[in-house]
Structure 1
Amino acid sequence: MPAESAGSAESEWSLSAPEKIVFEGPVTGLDVSIVNGAVNVVGADGGPARLELTALDGPPLKVVHQGGKLTVGYEDLTRKSLLGWFGRKNWNRSAGVTLTVPATADVKVGIVGASAVVSGIAGDTKVSGVSGDTTLVGITGDVRTETVSGRVEAQRLGGDVRCNGVSGDLTLVECSGGRIKADSVSGNVVIDLAPAAPAVDLAVTTVSGEVAVRLPSSADAAVDAGTTVGPVSCSFPELWVKDQFGSRNITGRLGAGRGQIKVTSVSGAVALLQGPDADDTDEWADDDAPAQGKVL
């Protein structure tokens, strides 16, 4: 069983074996960087912040709790230096760590070859990754992700979302917050907006990645979506599907057009799908229906 220790409001540890730590002082921010293995961050409504290191291979993890900030990582690696580790063949380290922090804390996670799961956070969340997959669940604060090749999968996000990726796929499901902006080179982008989402403010850009956006039938936004050489499809008959001047576009207005949907791709396919409203529980029931829309 891992040893357990308690820390004061300002403490420092060097962990070379599995261990549990309970932090006596407040934690308002978390900054954790892990190479290989897994990191799990859980937001809690009560109780002290806790750390459980379940597995460690390689150099020790350095843990610092000072001024309300909890930092977990290595002496030779910070989030700012993550890109310097891209392409290294011999990392010689891995760790498995679970961190429970107040739900209101701001969270920053850096991963190289590791998986990251962040759930139940109401503060701002930022995940930076070279490789390794990221899963975000039930985050009501703003979200920012930056990845090279790892996948990002998220469910029930309630704040503004900003995602940048190179080759990893991005999937956002049941988003109900404000602005969503996603940029990718070759990764595919799938975004599903919850029926309860306010007027849409969505912008997606890819080079060769495919883009699929599912909107409730009550969506309220001006639409401008297109690709230079890829195919387009649309499930909203009130939108126009145009093929002219070497590009294919979906344009028009949904509802009063208070929000905005902007999708741009060079060679990737673009699809606008119609999802259920709040009183319709069918999941993706009409996804295989023929594409509709006014065609020019």
Structure 2
Amino acid sequence: MSARSEWSVSAPRTLEFTEPVRALNVRTAGGTVNVVGTSDGGPPRLEVSEIDGEPLTVSYDGGTLTVAYEDLPWKGFLKFFDRTAWRRRAVVSVTVPADTRVEVGVVGASAVVSGISGRTDLRGVSGGCTLVGLTGAVRADTVSGAVEAQGVTGELRFHTVSGDLTVIDGGGAGVRADSVSGDMTLDLDRIATEADIQLTTVSGEIAIRLPDPADAHVSVNTTTGSVANAFDDLRVSGWGPRQITGTLGAGGGTLRASTISGGLALLRRPAFEDTGKKVL
């Protein structure tokens, strides 16, 4: 394979790459994108299993693999509202080394990114996105698409207008998320030492389930929404605007959350119970 190679894909096709892939850029409309990071040493692989409408352009240039519609630029991607692009559909699966730098942009499509230890950037105009087992830094920006993060241990930054954020088994060094109306649900299996969690929304609901024991300084508030608190060490105060403050454990981490009209809940994960059973 030469330093620069390019293909036009208008029908189902599979490509394997003998040269190393250090960066991946995918920009599609409609359908599904699935990116998998592996450490088995196998060659990077692209499979387009379904495609309707305009052909996809696939290019390899100096370690960067790009799979995209040419009229979907990465710059200004979230402002793309050309409805003609929504009449396209492609089902794309890419396997790359785990440490690859990944950029995925989708319009009216779903995306799944798993097993990546390099940095991941996700942009979506609509459509759900799932992030699984990512250990590198993650940034997700959507207009209305929901994002679900499972077992993500890298720093997570999320920005949306109306999309929801759900974090399952989270335990990274930090989460920073802001939205206008999207809900935020975080289920944390641990809070890393000196973790920094900051959540802000205008009208969305915020629910956070913390491990027991937890280690964080807590300051969360809502202007007109309801509050619920499952921790005796935290104090609920205020008659109009309500806030929950206090310190859990040694207070090594920081948890801040704010919503204007949405409800706010701090929940407790069940404490680990030693049943005395032996594992054979």
From 139, 144, 150, give the equivalent of 2:145.
Answer: 150
- Matched residue of 2:87: which SS? coil
Query: Which residue in the other structure is 1:137 paired with?
Result: 132
Q: Relative to 1, partners in 2 of residues 1:156 and 1:99: Cα closer, same or farther, differing over 3 Å? A: same
The normalised TM-score by structure 2 is 0.93
Distance 1:23 1:87 in 2: 32
Corresponding residue for residue 36 of structure 1: 30
SS of 1:149's equivalent in the other structure is coil
Query: What is the deviation of 1:132?
Result: 0.7
Distance in 2 between residues matched to 1:196 and 1:163, nearest whole Å = 18
Q: How far, CA to CA, are the matches of 1:136 and 1:50 in structure 2?
A: 20
Shift of the alpha carbon at 1:278? 5.4
Instruction: Kindly provide the CA deviation profile for residues 184-232 of structure 1, in whole angstroms up to 9, marking residues without a partner as x.
Output: 1111100111137434311000100000011111211111101000001
Q: Tell me the alpha carbon deviations over residues 57-114 of structure 1, each in whole angstroms, 9 at most, x when there is no partner.
A: 1111111111111111012112224234226366321111100000010110000000
Alignment gaps of 5+ in structure 1: 1-6, 282-296
* 1:200 and 1:220 in contact (8 A); partners too: no
Q: Is 1:97–2:92 an aligned residue pair?
A: yes
Deviations 1:234-277 (A, max 9, x none): 00011000124x30000011111121110000000011111134
Partner of 1:263: 257
Measure the CA separation in 2 of the matches of 1:203 and 1:248: 17
Which ranges in structure 2 are unaligned for 5 or more consecutive residues? 276-280
Asked if 2 retains the 8 angstrom alpha-carbon contact of 1:20 and 1:52, the reply is yes
Q: Indicate whether 1:25 and 2:19 are aligned.
A: yes
Q: 1:275 aligns with which of 256, 260, 269?
A: 269
Residue 288 (structure 1) aligns with: none
* 2:66 counterpart residue number: 71
The one-letter code matched in structure 2 to 1:267 is S
Structure 1 residue ranges, 4+ long, deviating more than 6 angstroms after superposition: none
Q: TM-score, normalised by structure 1?
A: 0.88
Tell me the SS of whatever aligns to 2:231: coil
Whole-Å Cα distance in 1 between the matches of residues 274 and 231 of structure 2? 17
- Whether 2:152 is the aligned partner of 1:194: answer no
After superposition, give the CA deviation of every residue in 1:141-171 in whole Å (9 maximum; x if it has no partner): 1111001111101100011000011111110
1:61 aligns with 2:61: no
Equivalent residue, structure 2, for 1:172: 167
What's the RMSD between the two structures over aligned residues?
1.7
